[in-house]
Amino acid sequence: MTRIALHELAHARTGDKGNRSCISLIAYDPAHWPLLVAQVTEARVAELFAHRRPTTVRRYLLPRLQAMNFVLDDVLDGGVNGALNLDAHGKALSSLLLTLVVDPADVAGPPP
């Protein structure tokens, strides 16, 4: 089956506090929620952001909102007052998360 980027299934927003990035991921369609839970794991997000050397990656689930929050520690080169990045807040990192590739055929949803 076709593997697709998360951008087609979900939207996201990045915020920051100090050297910590907080990225939400929200399913467009509640039907895709099980797929996101199964495939957008802490391990896969840690791998996607490996070049930023996160010390921890935590995922918090909000099933009623079909949304999850990722909290990545120490990924902002010191944060808004320390990083040399043009985007010192890491605002663009939600777009990086949405490049993650998922396979819609792998998890069609929980069994009825």
Partner 1 sequence: MSTNLLRIGCGAGFAGDRWDAAVPVVEALAAAGGPAVLMFETLAERTLALAQLRRRQQPDAGWEPTLDRFVRPVLARCVAAGIPIVGNFGAANPVGAAAVVQGLARELGLGPLRVAVVEGDDLLATLTPDQWAEVLPAGLRGRELVSANAYLGAQEIAAALRAGAQVVVTGRVADPALALGPLIAHFGWAEDDWDRLAAGTMVGHLLECGAQVTGGYFADPGVKDVPDLARVGFPIAEVAADGRCVITKPAGTGGCVTRRTVIEQLLYEIHDPAAYLTPDVVADLTLAEVHEEAADRVALSGVRGHARPPTLKATLCHEGGWLAEGEISYDGAGAAARARLGGDVVAERVRLLGLPVQALRRDLIGVASVFADDAGRWVAPAAQEAEDVRLRVAGATPDRASAEALAREVMALYTCGPAGGGGVRTSVTPRLASDSCYVPRAWLRPGWRFVP
**Cβ nearer to partner 1, comparing 69 with 112:** 69
**Cβ nearer to partner 1, comparing 2 with 112:** 2
State the CB neighbour count (10 A cutoff) for residue 42: 15
Task: Report the alpha-carbon distance of residue 25 to residue 13 in Å, rounded.
Answer: 7
Q: List interacting residues with partner 1 (CB under 8 A).
A: 7, 11-13, 15-18, 20, 22, 24, 26, 28, 51-53, 58, 60, 62, 64-65, 67, 69, 71, 75, 77-87, 92-93, 95-96
Q: Considering the complex, what minimum distance in angstroms separates the CB of residue 53 from partner 1? A: 7
**Cβ nearer to partner 1, comparing 38 with 96:** 96
Task: Report the alpha-carbon distance of residue 63 to residue 47 in Å, rounded.
Answer: 24
Token pair 């929980």: residue: 110
3-class DSSP state for residue 85? coil
- Element of type H or E holding 46: helix 42-48
Q: Considering the complex, what minimum distance in angstroms separates the CB of residue 111 from partner 1? A: 25
